[in-house]
Structures are given as C-alpha cells and as structure tokens.
A and B are shown apart, each in its own frame.
Chain A
Amino acid sequence: MSTPVVPASVEEVADGLERVGYLPGESTALVSYLAARLGKPVLVEGPAGVGKTELAKALAKYLGRSLVRLQCYEGLDEAKALYEWNYRKQLLRIQTEAEGTGWQAVQDDIFGEEFLLPRPLLQAIASPEPVVLLVDEIDKTDQEFEAMLLELLSDFQISIPELGRIEARTHPVVLLTSNNSRELTEALKRRCLYLWLDYPSAERELEIVRLHAPDLPDVVAQRLVEVVAMVRELDLKKPPSIAESIDWARALLLLGAQDIDQQTFRETLSIIVKHRTDLDTVAERVGVRLAA
C-alpha cells in the first residue's frame, strides 16, 4: 500500500483519479475533494452503471487507502454490518475455565475485544490506517438500518453496549451509493454531501473508452459512443452502463472490427443489451440505422 495522499486542490484530485483509470466529471472531482477535506460522507446517486462503485475504488487507490466495502441488501442487520460477539469462542472460554475462575473475571473476559467479530463498519472505524468506506446500494436496506448509520456518519463512532463507545482512530472517507429505488431519509441526506452521477456526455464517454481500449480505431470508438448514446435514449429495461461500453470496445478490438456495421452490431449486441425484449427493441430501432 502506497503512502496516504492528502489532496491540496480539486485539480489534483481530478488528475489523481485519472491516473488510476477513472475519468471524473468536474463535479465528481470537486465533491471527492470536499469529502477528503471536510471529512463528510458523500451520497452518490444515479442510474445503474455510471461508475458509482468504481468511484469509491478509484478514490481508495488514489488516496492510498484500503477500501472497506459494505454491500447492502434487504434484511441486512447490525450483526452483519457492525459487529457480532463470537459466541462459540465465548462458550469455549467459559467451559475451559468453568472451574476455579471467579464469575467476575470470566464476565470481564468474554466481553473483551478478543471475542468481537468486527464487521465492515467497525473495521472502517477501528482501522489504524485511514480507509475509504463504501456503503453500496444503501437504498436496498430498510429505514431502521439507515437510522443506525446516523451515529456513524455524523460522529464516526459506534456504541457497543458491553464495551462502550468506539471512536474512529482515523477519519474514513465515506461513500454511500444509491440507485434511487427509494427515497432516503432526510436525516441521512442532511449529513452527506450529495453527488448525482449521470451517464457521461458523448465526449467524456469517448475519452473513457479510449482510456480503457487505447488500441481501438478512432472511427470505431466514435461510432460506438454514438450508438450507445442512441441505445440509452430508448425505453429499455436496462440501459447499457459505462462498463458495458468498455466491454463492447474491448470485444470489438478483439474481433478486429474496422467499423460498426449492421452485422457486427447484431453479433455483438448482447454485450450491451441483456434483456430479450430489449434486444428486439434495439435491433429494430438502432440496428437498421447502421450501414449494411
């Protein structure tokens, strides 16, 4: 792990992110910079596949910190997110020392840090090195979990009844991502900076594709970006993400395509469109516009 970086300006963040393979928009760089400077969590929202999770990874890489990731899902609870007592170990301990030890000694013992299983949130707080904490798809959890996060996000501390308060030794950079599948609570939003990531403009996407598939001929890259933009315009179940544009670019590179014509498009369509009904729509509406 490289030495931790403390950014001094927005441009530095933009350059740094670019160096690790992430092309940030202006507001993305600015908000990342603010997050690092102000120590405020960032709520990142936007459609699926615009690079929300990628941003956290790139930030971690650029800042020279390790990434602690908490993937949220319906039914996620404290035991999975915060900490859990390692009760097997606790039981063993009680059994091996059942005789001879005073009750007080055992009780003090089995609620020590030795018997604590740290989960991502506790890990992020307790880490001696500063980390980047990614709480992914926060909108998948329920409101109770959100409420629990509040203590962590505003004061960077966690209360464990048996141990007391654990305060952050270092200040993590926190990113929360959401696909906007439900409204998050006001209380959570209040504590965060807000960043809306949208699909990139054609020029930016072209840059991104070039960065990840530098050998792709310019004509093809240009056409690819145009086609992807057109496909996103349609009413699809799942519009193609940036990652899929990159995959497509790589596939075209492998195939040695010199242009995207109808045949190439038909053959490689499944890389960017992944629903049967979507496939039909796209073939019908976009495919015919390409050269035969």
Chain B
Amino acid sequence: MPLDAHLIGFAEALRAEGVAIGTSELNDAFAALGEVEWTRAAPFKEALAATLAKSPDDRRVFDLVFERYFFRAAEGAALEAGVREGAAAEAGMAGSDRIDFDALREQILEAIRDGDEAALRDLARLAIAAFGRRGQGSGVLGVDVQRIRRALGLKSEPPGLVKGEGAAQELPLTREQIRRFEAQLRRELERAQIERTQSLPPARPLNELDRALPSGPAQDLAAVHRVVTQLKRRLATQGHQARGHARHAHVDVRRTMRASLETGGVPVVLKYKPRRPRRPELYVLCDVSTSVTSASVFFLSVLHALHDSFRRMRSFVFVERISEVTDVFARERSFKAVSDAISKDAGVADVSGYTDYGRVWREFLMQVEDDLHPRATVIVLGDARTNGRDPRADIFAHVAEKAGRTFWLNPEPKLYWNYGDSVIDAYTPYCEAYECWTTRQLEDFVRALTRPGYH
C-alpha cells in the first residue's frame, strides 16, 4: 500500500476512536509531511500529531492509535513480502546456550536509564528468547509481559529521596520507565506471535481504560475547577437576550458620537451603554450523609470550586439538619482544610445520621426565605434518599417557586433513581434533575444550562 493510502487509513482509525478529523486536517497533514524529513520516525509522527491531534486527550489517543496502526501496517507488509526474522534470530542466539539473567538485567537497567529505545528493543527480544527457552510462555501477552518483568526483578519504587551526597547516586526506576520496557516487550511478543501464526490479529478498538487520562484526586480537583469556571460564564450570560429593553439605560456618549458621524454629526440615533450582566446569586445545598460518602468528596470539591468563582454565593451542607458553611469556605482556602472543618464542626447529623429532606427544606426556607428572589439559582447536590421519611415536596416546590431556577444534581446513575427509598420523582416537577458523578457529567450539566429555548 502506498503512503497516502496508509495515511488515510490512519485517519480513519483515528476517527473510529472519536478524534474529529476533517478533510482540511488531512490536507494539512500531507502539506506538513512535504516540509519535513518524513522518512525519520520522530518528525513523521510529530508532523502528523501537530496537524491531526488538537487537544491533550486527542494526542493521547493519537499516540496509541499511531503505535497500533503502523505496527500492524509494518507487520502486514512483512507478511505479504514473506520477511521472516525469527529463524535467523534464533540461530544467532543458539551460540550462547544460556543467557545470564543478571547480566541481562544490568543491561536493561542501563538502557532504561539512558532512554535508549533501540537498545531496549533488542534487550526485550533477548529477554523473550531467554524466557521462552524456560518453556513458561502462557500464550497471553499481558501475562507473559508481567512474568518476564518479574523474572528480571524489575520493580518500580516510590520517588527517591534527595540525599545530601553528590548527584551521582543511582536513581531507582520510575513507573514510567518500567512501562516503556513493558511496551517494548509487548510489541516484540506480538511480533513473534504474528510470525508464528502468519496472520494479523483482528484490530480492536482501544478500551476505555487505555484512553482515559491517568488521573489522581489532584487532577480531578483541577478538572472540577475548570468546569465550574465555565459554569460561571454560562450563568452570568444566561437569559439576557430574552430580558428585553432595560427601562433606564445610560447613553454611551462615545458610541453615540461615533454613530452621529453617519448623519453629519447630528446625534439622531442614541446608543446606550450595554448592561453589564448581573452577578448570579447561588444557593447550593450539599448532602454529606453516609449514603453519598463516595460522592461527597466530589460534591465538596464542586462546592469548593464554586466558591472560588462566585462571590455572591451561600452554601449549606445537610444530613438531618442544615448548616450554613459559607464562612468556612471564605476562611479556608485549601480543599483539605475545608473538608476537615466541615466534617468536624458543621453539626449536621443529629441522631440517626440519615438524611431528612423534609426538615432540611423547612430549615432552609426559614433561613433564606426573605433573600430568595427570581434571579437566584438554587442547586441541590444529593441522592434524594429519604430513608422512608416524608419528602415534603410541597416545601421544596415553595423554594423552587421563590428562586428563579432550581437544579438537582444526583450522584447516582439514572438506573437507581426512584429505586428503594429514592424519591427524586417527587422533586423533579419543580427542578431540572441531572445525573452527576463525574466531571464529564458536570460538563454536560453546564452545557444543558445553555441549551437554546431553555430558561
């Protein structure tokens, strides 16, 4: 197959993984390849990446697909041309009847530290050959890779301490370095398999695990903050088109003068100062009871992020009763301090530790009834599990009526709604309910806020 057909095939493979690639991008890719030394691997890949993968997520998928696609392409071509290297490699190996595992290990460590991919590849083949002679191949790639790694005694260690002595100390291997070696092992094993069976394994789509970004709680927090920044923008600019002309507007002298030029300096058309969007007022209620333990960290981080972006915001946490925590957020900047303070002295659990929505609405209404107005937005974060108590939807309806907009974010999958003691249906007539337990769903919620025709 000529190169252009391969490139188009590659673009197809990317599209199949959900990377949006238009014809214009493909054109760019070809143009870019025309400018670089594309016979070398690195410029070839980077030129394609710069034109085809346009976000960190896309780039991650790109790397995976690139590896998979061109590996298959090369192996397919080798099969077609009848190239075999297995026999020659085996013959060369037969000379040294026993490979010294320790020596091999030392060499691999060295290659990993130097980041020498080519050497690493050769060593991976040696390791496979040595290992294969022991007759322990399981036939499953992933299992074999791990067995070989363990046989070689390669372990990742926690990030090293910086000691006082010179810089020449031996650094332990990081997880990333081990991963690189494993990738080489896997590749070579796969290659051997293709040679043995004389056919390419069927192409599989990437699984979700592979394509997801590696994430820790810190990144989650950052992601939540990013989504909330969007939320702020959306809330601030929402619904102004529909509001009609302001009763009292201020004349913008500069723009009126500018307009008057068209009529020879006579101000015929008055221009008004644009009305600045009013800052939204937010009331957020967050369930922190045990039934939402896993979700409450996420909710608290949402709350924390909201507080960073909105000045006029009051937040409440509740279990059996409600407690205003606006001050806590105002006082403490770090997320950890906030969650500590809330768990210690919010005093929201009374006796049972089960959520009592009826009481929560009553107390909430008591505290804020006078402040609620049509421009306020109320957001409830909770699972609507009343533990058999009266949901008191009538009070909730009253709250929703007083406030301009009311949203409910439920941390449970939709499947479980109204199942058991979940009474979300009692509340949905008065609010918009969303399923929300990942940042992606939070994003969906933000997007839904701006859906045209919605008010």
Mutual binders A and B: yes
Looking at A30-38, A52-60, A208-216, the stretch in contact with chain B turns out to be A30-38
The contact sample of 8 A-B pairs, CB cut-off 8 A, is: A30-B47, A85-B261, A87-B257, A193-B32, A194-B54, A196-B59, A237-B333, A289-B161
- Per-residue B-contact encoding for A34-51, CB less than 8 Å = 1, 0 else: 100110100101000000
C-alpha gap A223/B164 in the complex (Å)? 10
Looking at B19-27, B369-377, B418-426, the stretch in contact with chain A turns out to be B19-27
Looking at B36-44, B146-154, B241-249, B287-295, the stretch in contact with chain A turns out to be B36-44
A30-B50, A186-B20 known; A38 and B254 CB under 8 Å?
no
A182-B229, A230-B162 known; A235 and B22 CB under 8 Å?
no
Write the residues of chain B forming the contact surface with A, with a CB cutoff of 8 angstroms: 20, 22, 24-25, 28, 31-32, 35-37, 42-43, 46-47, 49-51, 53-56, 59, 159, 161-164, 166-167, 216-218, 221, 226, 229-230, 233, 254, 257-258, 261, 264-265, 333-334, 337
Specify which chain B residues have a CB less than 8 angstroms from the CB of A180 in the assembled complex. 56, 226
Whether B162 pairs with A227 at a CB distance below 8 angstroms is yes
Whether A196 pairs with B167 at a CB distance below 8 angstroms is no
Whether A30 pairs with B36 at a CB distance below 8 angstroms is yes
Whether A91 pairs with B265 at a CB distance below 8 angstroms is yes
How many CB-defined contacts (below 8 Å) exist between A and B? Answer: 111
Whether B261 pairs with A290 at a CB distance below 8 angstroms is no
A38-B31, A222-B167 known; A289 and B162 CB under 8 Å?
yes
Whether A27 pairs with B230 at a CB distance below 8 angstroms is no
Whether A230 pairs with B159 at a CB distance below 8 angstroms is yes
Query: Is A165 part of the contact surface with B, judged by Cβ < 8 Å?
Result: no
Specify which chain B residues have a CB less than 8 angstroms from the CB of A227 in the assembled complex. 162
Write the residues of chain A forming the contact surface with B, with a CB cutoff of 8 angstroms: 9-10, 26-27, 30-31, 33-34, 37-38, 40, 43, 45, 85, 87, 90-91, 94-95, 103, 106, 110, 142, 180-183, 186, 189-196, 218-219, 222-223, 226-227, 230, 233, 235, 237, 259, 261, 275-277, 289-291
Specify which chain B residues have a CB less than 8 angstroms from the CB of A230 in the assembled complex. 159, 162
Whether A45 pairs with B56 at a CB distance below 8 angstroms is yes
C-alpha gap A272/B53 in the complex (Å)? 32
Whether A26 pairs with B46 at a CB distance below 8 angstroms is yes
A94-B265, A223-B162, A291-B164 known; A190 and B22 CB under 8 Å?
yes
A33-B35, A34-B35, A193-B28 known; A94 and B159 CB under 8 Å?
no
Residue in chain A with minimal CB distance to B51: A193
Residue in chain B with minimal CB distance to A278: B334
C-alpha gap A30/B166 in the complex (Å)? 36
Residue in B35, B54, B164, B265 whose beta carbon sits within 8 Å of that of A37 in the complex: B35
C-alpha gap A92/B337 in the complex (Å)? 62
Whether A190 pairs with B25 at a CB distance below 8 angstroms is yes
Whether A38 pairs with B28 at a CB distance below 8 angstroms is yes
C-alpha gap A110/B217 in the complex (Å)? 60
Specify which chain A residues have a CB less than 8 angstroms from the CB of B55 in the assembled complex. 45, 183, 189, 194
Whether B35 pairs with A31 at a CB distance below 8 angstroms is no
Which 10 A-B pairs give the minimum distances between C-beta atoms?
A291-B164, A235-B218, A194-B54, A189-B54, A277-B334, A222-B167, A27-B46, A193-B50, A87-B258, A37-B35
Specify which chain B residues have a CB less than 8 angstroms from the CB of A31 in the assembled complex. 46, 50
A38-B31, A289-B161 known; A10 and B51 CB under 8 Å?
no
Specify which chain B residues have a CB less than 8 angstroms from the CB of A218 in the assembled complex. 167
Specify which chain A residues have a CB less than 8 angstroms from the CB of B22 in the assembled complex. 190
Whether B167 pairs with A223 at a CB distance below 8 angstroms is yes
Whether B261 pairs with A94 at a CB distance below 8 angstroms is yes
A87-B254, A233-B159 known; A26 and B261 CB under 8 Å?
no
Q: How far is the CB of A159 from chain B (nearest CB, A)?
A: 18
C-alpha gap A182/B55 in the complex (Å)? 12
C-alpha gap A189/B22 in the complex (Å)? 11
C-alpha gap A221/B337 in the complex (Å)? 35
C-alpha gap A277/B308 in the complex (Å)? 15
Residue in chain A with minimal CB distance to B230: A182
Whether A91 pairs with B261 at a CB distance below 8 angstroms is yes
Q: How far is the CB of B141 from chain A (nearest CB, A)?
A: 29
Residue in chain A with minimal CB distance to B334: A277
Whether B50 pairs with A181 at a CB distance below 8 angstroms is no
C-alpha gap A106/B53 in the complex (Å)? 52
Residue in B24, B37, B53 whose beta carbon sits within 8 Å of that of A190 in the complex: B24
Q: How far is the CB of B339 from chain A (nearest CB, A)?
A: 14
For A27, A34, A230, which residue has the most chain B Cβ atoms within 10 angstroms? A34
Residue in chain B with minimal CB distance to A183: B55
C-alpha gap A277/B304 in the complex (Å)? 15
Whether A38 pairs with B35 at a CB distance below 8 angstroms is yes
Q: How far is the CB of B155 from chain A (nearest CB, A)?
A: 20
C-alpha gap A275/B216 in the complex (Å)? 22
Q: How far is the CB of B58 from chain A (nearest CB, A)?
A: 8
Specify which chain B residues have a CB less than 8 angstroms from the CB of A233 in the assembled complex. 159
Q: How far is the CB of A248 from chain B (nearest CB, A)?
A: 15
Residue in A33, A110, A181, A196 whose beta carbon sits within 8 Å of that of B36 in the complex: A33
Specify which chain B residues have a CB less than 8 angstroms from the CB of A290 in the assembled complex. 162, 164
Q: How far is the CB of B153 from chain A (nearest CB, A)?
A: 25
For B51, B159, B337, which residue has the most chain A Cβ atoms within 10 angstroms? B51
A91-B265, A182-B229, A189-B54 known; A219 and B167 CB under 8 Å?
yes
C-alpha gap A290/B31 in the complex (Å)? 51
C-alpha gap A112/B221 in the complex (Å)? 53
Residue in chain B with minimal CB distance to A281: B334
Specify which chain A residues have a CB less than 8 angstroms from the CB of B337 in the assembled complex. 277
Residue in B35, B164, B226, B258 whose beta carbon sits within 8 Å of that of A85 in the complex: B258
Q: How far is the CB of A276 from chain B (nearest CB, A)?
A: 7
Residue in chain B with minimal CB distance to A39: B31
Whether B226 pairs with A181 at a CB distance below 8 angstroms is yes
Specify which chain B residues have a CB less than 8 angstroms from the CB of A275 in the assembled complex. 333
Whether B162 pairs with A43 at a CB distance below 8 angstroms is no
Specify which chain A residues have a CB less than 8 angstroms from the CB of B161 in the assembled complex. 289
C-alpha gap A223/B56 in the complex (Å)? 30
Q: How far is the CB of A57 from chain B (nearest CB, A)?
A: 21
Specify which chain B residues have a CB less than 8 angstroms from the CB of A110 in the assembled complex. 261
